[in-house]
Structure 1
Amino acid sequence: MAVQSDYRYSLTVNEHIQFDVVRFVLKEQLSSLFHLELDVASSGAEPDFFTIIDHNATLTFWQGEQAIRHVNGIVTSFNQGETGFSRTRYRMVIEPSLCRANLQSDLRIFQQQDSQKIIETLLQKNHTPQNQFHLQTPYWTREYCVQYRETDLNFIERLAAEEGTYYYFEHTKENHILHFANSTALSLKKGDLIYNAMPAGERPEAAIWHWAYEEKLSSTLQTLRDYTFTNPRYNQEHQAIVQKTNVLGENHQGQYERYDYPGRYKRDAQGKPFTQYRLDYERRESELAFAHSDDLRVQPGYVFGLTGHSRDAFNRDWLIVSVEHYGWQPGVLEEEAGEDGNRYENRIKLIPSTTQWRPTPQPRPVVEGSHTAHVVGPADEEIYCDEWGRVKVQFPWDREGQNNEHSSCWIRVSQGWAGAQFGHIAIPRIGHEVIVDFLEGDPDQPVIIGRTYHSTTEPPYALPEHKTRMTIKSKTHKGNGFNELRFEDENGQEEVFIHAERDQNNVVKNDETTQIGHDRSEQVGHDETIHIGNNRTETVGQDESLTVGRDQTNKINRNRMTKIEKDEVLNIGNNFVLDVYANQDVRSGRDHSHQANRNALVKVGTELKHHSKNIKMTGSTLVKVRGQAGTIVIDGKGITLKGKVTVKGALIQQGGTPESPQVLSFTANDVKPTCEVCEAMKNQKQHAG
């Protein structure tokens, strides 16, 4: 291998500390941290460890005087070994700066951000500012995304895998750049690799001397489903199926389906790419090539063409998936150097450049059990919810939340009953402590399943003093009132208590039956209106008392019948007016008495009749009967008749006194009255004439 004699390696740490490279092993792979282990030596002063650990380091591959490739990272492990005649041996590990993300873990909430924004935030936190995203399909905004007890690296890799995105590194002398890509079609081509299977020592240039190709039986169909409460009847099912031939131009045989739920997408438009990503992952190594070479240029994430293979189908572009590099430089140990010169070789794994490579889906963290949290919202609110009754909470583990309406996503609240516009609803209020569970243990899918009291939201009644009370008691929004339905179960004190802070409305669409075993008291502070659409029957077993503070008005559109088995007493403090439109009939089984302390007036429009065996009319001072043509006055002086007098029937005369004049005498059937005095006076007038 004539080309190997030109290879050499150098290492610089912290910009100025030089080490001689004895040997190294470098492992690189898509979506993995590269890992470089080196045996090095130095004849200089023993370095301080703090100047080595966590500092920049660069391994350079040389061919002659030309730097072919750099591997840049930070020193994560440094070991001082034996000291020989003139040199001290060291062992060192170099990894990308992204490895720092494996040293930090967090519980953190991200809202309304896409995966790129979230990943960039974590990279900045871990001092990995050199990064680039190459996206053929843009990321969707994540409404709510939780890093839950994961290292920053695990979280980054999980998000990237869900988005079908792999990462790799680009190296320069001074730094390394982290690249993210969600399509192999965006990969850069670095050149061609020569296939040369000639024996060692006969290759004038770097080449692949071993090549193997294999195919694996893999799934050909991926089906995913998911659920969203905003469209519960739609199953959000998506399928992806193999639609390509292999590098040999052959079609795939068989249909092997992988089905999973949930697909971890809430928008239907996300379902299609997520399903394709899962199928791509299952088939990423369905066509795989293995190669051994001594070409220093190969590294994951880049495309190289293969030339010189006897099977022309293999002479095409391939994407490097992983590489293991091995290098030896024994000559730097002068006192220990043998006859072997510098050597280098690698082991390469490749896939066709047209195959999509997706990273292994990372297991999401599982919340083992429920959490408590406090309901939060704007500073001037007491109740804060959306159209579905969802609320926001502050978890006790969230260090970045500000106990306001931005502390979490909207979280659904389990209710006792939830139907189509019917059921039970009780919105947790700001400050209340709730119990939060997570669907399938997924921290991104919280749901409130309960509530509990704590020291600042105590029960409505002191306990255990009122341990027999069960209550549903609310509180006036932005006020001090309350509504309550309370049950007291203490033996001998059983009670159902209902309190309405303002209005109470009862609607009974059919019958209502109320049975009260003892007393009932009802007090209405203002007006009461009762409307009965049909009949009303009211029965009082004993006495009834009705007190009206002012007026009472009764209106009966038809008949009224009142039956009183015994006495009725009507006491009216002022006037009494009885207005009967037609007839009035008053019947008394025995006596009937009317008494007026002053005047009494009976006014009849046509005729007044009194029927009785006896009629007595008594005026203690005066009796006066007045008609159209005359008047009868009975007073203390006697009886005075004024007007024309006609008497029909017999006249009976009885003796009289000066105080009692003669009684008129009538002749039967004589229509004229006869009076001796009158006749005598009449005759006297005639004779005088």
Structure 2
Amino acid sequence: MTDQPSSSEFIQASRVLKVKSPLGEDQLLPERMVITEGVSQLFEIQLNVRAKKEAVKPEELIGRLVDVSIEVQQGDGEEGSGIRRPFNGLVTDLHEGPPITRGLRSYAMTIRPQMWLLSRRSDCRIWMDKTSVDVVETLFSEHGIPAPDTSGIISPPPVQHYSTQFNETDLDYLLRRLEEDGLFYWFSHEDGSHKLHVADTANGWLGPSPSAQGEGRVRLAQGSSDRNHINDWARRFSYVSGQRAGADWNFETPGMVPGNMTPSLVQMPDATKRELYEYPARIKTVEEAERAQKLRAQSIEADHDRVFGGSTSRILEAGRRFTPYEVAHPEHEYEEHVIIRASHTIVDRSYETNSNEPEYRNTFEAIPARVPLTPHRTTKCPKIEGTQVAIVAGPEGEEIHPDQYGRIKLWFPWDRKAKKDGTDTCWVRVSQAWGGVTWGAQVIPRIGMEVMVAFVDGDPDRPLVTGVVNNPKNSVPYDLPANKTRMVLRSNTHKGDGFNEITFEDEAGKENQFFHAQKDQTTRVLNDRTKRIDRHEVASVGGNRAVEVSGNQKHEIGGSVNTVVGGTGPMAMMAMAGVQALSGQTAGLLSQAAQIAGGGGPVVAAFATSLASSALGFLGAGGMSSREGVVSGPSPRSDAGTALAGSGTGVGSDASSLFPLPGIMNTIIGAFQSTSVGVAKAEQIGVSKVTNVGRTSLERVGKTKKLSVGERYEVTVGKAILSQTANHTMIASDKIVLAAPGGVIEINKQGVFIKANKFEVKSDSINFKRGSGGKNTNKPFAEDCSKK
């Protein structure tokens, strides 16, 4: 009976399969290994080992790098003199098996690339102005992974201004970006490390495996079981669509939908009738569309020509070139290929049997080395269904921050790295109620507002603001539900405390439209404007008012009108100061005139009474109080102008009692009145006119003045009358009487009669003649005819 070696005597030195781990030399004895590797996929190694340690703690292996190697070529017998192919990776899973013979315990390990760690972290993150190469380098750095080899990229991918990683692992986001840019990748291995390679063209494929020592040719012998032979080679050709096409919307080019059609380089019968079209193609310009569709076409072209095979050659590696050749049929020529998928199985039974002959085999998939393996976009782009909440962002100290299209900046609550100043996000369009060519709605959400955001086609990279919502910080304009009947549009003064507002109050019996302009209100009407107010209108202008009417202006007032010039409110009464003392006299004159005219009666008497009181046309106490509410009441911001409306109603109602009867126009001018008429002025008064001048009345007529009185003309002067002219003619059809205390001169139809206490005539010459040219007529200028 042959003695079996103890576990301590087992070493890996001369074996085909070796492993180096943090547990130490020869502490793990590999028995079986299955390796799956490929282009644009993470490699995975399933390794079965026997552990000399009775219990391996998970933390001793999981998350640590290990090295595994397989023998490619035996050496000359010296330790380590053979050629080996290394594999390096991170232990991600450890399966503990049962105890086995000689104190050993079986374990199964899963080994993956360090890049796999990116699948262990997910995030919601915005990437600004980064290429896909920037993304892979940034994420590798954040995860502490050696930088990738990007020398295989001939045409660097374009910068993507805004890209969202939304509830995606770092790995999924990275793969999605690589696929969008047509970048493919694979891994190479050496003792102690492994490296990611990224390429965009066939020029990026690596040469033969280092374990092949520069020899890229591999013998092909169908059905052979010999070592280092390809024993199965099956070439497959697949039908591919004739062209790829895509389009998308770019709001900056509304007259053109960016798109492109790229025909396939693989020619198939009627293939152009089978077009693969996509919308949206995630592009903005025709140039982007051309690039995108070229990559999509390349991805399906790479599916056309594939080789599926199997071999015992241990030098076939993903991403590396090789060339098959046949010894039996040298006339068969093969072009250079590259491995894009491979599965290796290695079994070492030397720890349990005397046989040291290992079992190795692989299956592989390859494409011509002239073809880039442009990836299909298999990694799903996240979709955001419905809406999300965001906050309007912008520079510190600013309140409104739009661009020329009315777009705004946002920060999302899920973005933990948001600067909140708008520098780390894109411009986002804002949905408006209407939009035309320089017309439509323009409402710009302000910094700090909470908005609702939808995403065009569910794409996280295409946010669209659909509305603004309130929160405790940005509360509603009026308390709710107390003011639930109000529809409000209020804006806040930019960097100030004021506001503009339009409010509709719909409470039954209290309906009101409230308009508030913080500074100016400007109205331009190009044709007609019609306004009808069924009850009161109260207007208060704090400064000046100017009205210009190019055509005609018409006013009709059914009641009475009071105009005060020189003061408003309490100061309006002060305008009466100059004529206060005349009021009684004027009222008396008015009554006297009515009596003389014999008309007016009680109506004129009532008017005269009001005139005498100096209160005609002035608001009462209630009206004055309401006026204060109109002129200097509290800010209407809190009540949508309800108090202002009430005060206006009070003024309007009190105005009903300004006059004792309708048809009165009362004008009070505190200082001066000037009237200038260019051609003519006509004045018609039905019954009486009273003019009461406190001191002086001067009148000048440039040419002729005529006065016609139907019945009686009286002039009463307290001291003197001076009448001065070149010719003064006085005519009376009945008589003229000049009377003074010393006598009377009367001229009537009978003649001239003089009655005097004393009659004295002084003259250088006195001539009394008989006869008169006008004795038989009443004309003032009749004379004797000289030709008679």
TM-score band w.r.t. shorter chain = 0.7 to 0.9
Distance 1:116 1:269 in 2: 20
**Which among 281, 306, 310 is matched to residue 292 of structure 1?**
310
Distance 2:220 2:735 in 1: 154
C-alpha contact 1:193 1:208 (8 A) present in aligned 2: no
Aligned to 1:219: 241
Aligned to 2:499: 482
Distance 2:334 2:194 in 1: 31
Shift, 1:168, TM fit? 0.7
Shift, 1:180, TM fit? 1.4
Task: Name whichever of 382-391 and 127-136 sits farther off.
Answer: 127-136
Aligned to 1:8: 16
Distance 1:665 1:136, change over 3 A: same
C-alpha contact 1:165 1:180 (8 A) present in aligned 2: yes
Aligned to 2:361: 345
What secondary structure, in the 3-state scheme, does the structure 2 residue paired with 1:546 have?
Answer: strand
Task: Name whichever of 505-514 and 302-311 sits farther off.
Answer: 302-311
Alignment map for 1:34-73 (pairs within 5 Å): 34-44=43-53, 46-62=55-71, 63-64=73-74, 65-73=81-89
Shift, 1:307, TM fit? 2.3
**Which among 26, 38, 41 is matched to residue 32 of structure 1?**
41
Shift, 1:189, TM fit? 2.2
Distance 2:332 2:258 in 1: 40
**Which among 664, 668, 686 is matched to residue 770 of structure 2?**
668
Shift, 1:44, TM fit? 4.5
**Which among 454, 463, 471 is matched to residue 446 of structure 1?**
463
Whichever residue aligns with residue 613 of structure 1, its letter is S
Shift, 1:282, TM fit? 2.1
What secondary structure, in the 3-state scheme, does the structure 2 residue paired with 1:357 have?
Answer: coil
Shift, 1:667, TM fit? 3.8
Q: Does 1:152 align with 2:152?
A: no
Distance 1:67 1:462, change over 3 A: same
Distance 2:721 2:526 in 1: 53
Shift, 1:210, TM fit? 1.1
Distance 1:70 1:538 in 2: 104
Distance 1:313 1:175 in 2: 39
Shift, 1:148, TM fit? 0.3
Aligned-pair Cα RMSD in Å: 3.1
Distance 1:371 1:658, change over 3 A: closer
Distance 1:481 1:70 in 2: 74
Q: Does 1:164 align with 2:193?
A: no
C-alpha contact 2:223 2:232 (8 A) present in aligned 1: no
Shift, 1:305, TM fit? 2.1
Distance 1:492 1:305, change over 3 A: same
Aligned to 1:659: 758
Aligned to 1:322: 341
Distance 1:52 1:472 in 2: 65
Per-residue displacement from partner, 1:103-135 (whole Å, max 9, x unpaired)?
111111111222222222222222323312232
Whichever residue aligns with residue 19 of structure 2, its letter is L
Task: Name whichever of 338-347 and 111-120 sits farther off.
Answer: 338-347
Shift, 1:198, TM fit? 5.8
Per-residue displacement from partner, 1:600-640 (whole Å, max 9, x unpaired)?
66666x75555543575768xxxxxxxxxxxxxxx656699
Per-residue displacement from partner, 1:210-265 (whole Å, max 9, x unpaired)?
111111111120011111111121211111112357xxxxx766322111111112
Whichever residue aligns with residue 346 of structure 2, its letter is G
Distance 2:90 2:698 in 1: 111
Would you tell me which structure has more helix in proportion to its own residues?
2
What secondary structure, in the 3-state scheme, does the structure 2 residue paired with 1:483 have?
Answer: strand
C-alpha contact 1:650 1:666 (8 A) present in aligned 2: no
Shift, 1:409, TM fit? 1.3
Per-residue displacement from partner, 1:373-394 (whole Å, max 9, x unpaired)?
1112111111111111111112
C-alpha contact 2:242 2:266 (8 A) present in aligned 1: no
Scaled by the length of structure 1, what TM-score is found? 0.85
Shift, 1:551, TM fit? 4.6
Aligned to 2:657: none
Structure 2 residue runs without a partner (length 5+): 1-13, 75-80, 209-214, 567-670, 774-788
Alignment map for 1:599-614 (pairs within 5 Å): 610-613=730-733
Shift, 1:321, TM fit? 0.9
Aligned to 1:676: none
Distance 1:607 1:319, change over 3 A: farther
Shift, 1:555, TM fit? 5.3
Aligned to 1:263: 281
Shift, 1:573, TM fit? 5.8
Per-residue displacement from partner, 1:430-470 (whole Å, max 9, x unpaired)?
11111001001111000000111100111111111111111
Whichever residue aligns with residue 392 of structure 1, its letter is K
Scaled by the length of structure 2, what TM-score is found? 0.74
Distance 1:667 1:377, change over 3 A: same
Q: Does 1:237 align with 2:259?
A: yes
What secondary structure, in the 3-state scheme, does the structure 1 residue paired with 2:115 have?
Answer: helix
Distance 2:738 2:389 in 1: 97
Alignment map for 1:358-369 (pairs within 5 Å): 358-361=374-377, 362-369=379-386
Shift, 1:586, TM fit? 4.8
Matched pairs, number: 632
Per-residue displacement from partner, 1:50-90 (whole Å, max 9, x unpaired)?
11000001111222133332111100011221222222211
Alignment map for 1:172-571 (pairs within 5 Å): 172-190=190-208, 191-197=215-221, 200=224, 203=226, 206-243=228-265, 254-255=271-272, 256-308=274-326, 310=329, 315-331=334-350, 333=351, 336-337=352-353, 339=355, 341-361=357-377, 362-549=379-566, 550-552=671-673, 560-570=681-691
Distance 1:653 1:570, change over 3 A: closer
What secondary structure, in the 3-state scheme, does the structure 2 residue paired with 1:224 have?
Answer: strand
Distance 2:317 2:705 in 1: 119
Distance 1:101 1:582, change over 3 A: farther
Identity of counterpart residues, as a percentage? 26
Distance 1:107 1:432 in 2: 21
C-alpha contact 2:228 2:312 (8 A) present in aligned 1: yes
Whichever residue aligns with residue 400 of structure 2, its letter is I
Distance 1:446 1:156 in 2: 21
Task: Name whichever of 336-345 and 462-471 sits farther off.
Answer: 336-345
Aligned to 1:80: 96
Whichever residue aligns with residue 770 of structure 2, its letter is A
C-alpha contact 2:264 2:301 (8 A) present in aligned 1: no
Structure 1 residue runs without a partner (length 5+): 1-5, 246-250, 620-634, 641-648, 672-689
Whichever residue aligns with residue 164 of structure 2, its letter is V
Distance 1:338 1:575 in 2: 148
Whichever residue aligns with residue 92 of structure 2, its letter is T
Per-residue displacement from partner, 1:6-40 (whole Å, max 9, x unpaired)?
98111112383542221111001211110100111
Shift, 1:496, TM fit? 1.2
Distance 1:186 1:140 in 2: 19
Shift, 1:557, TM fit? 5.3
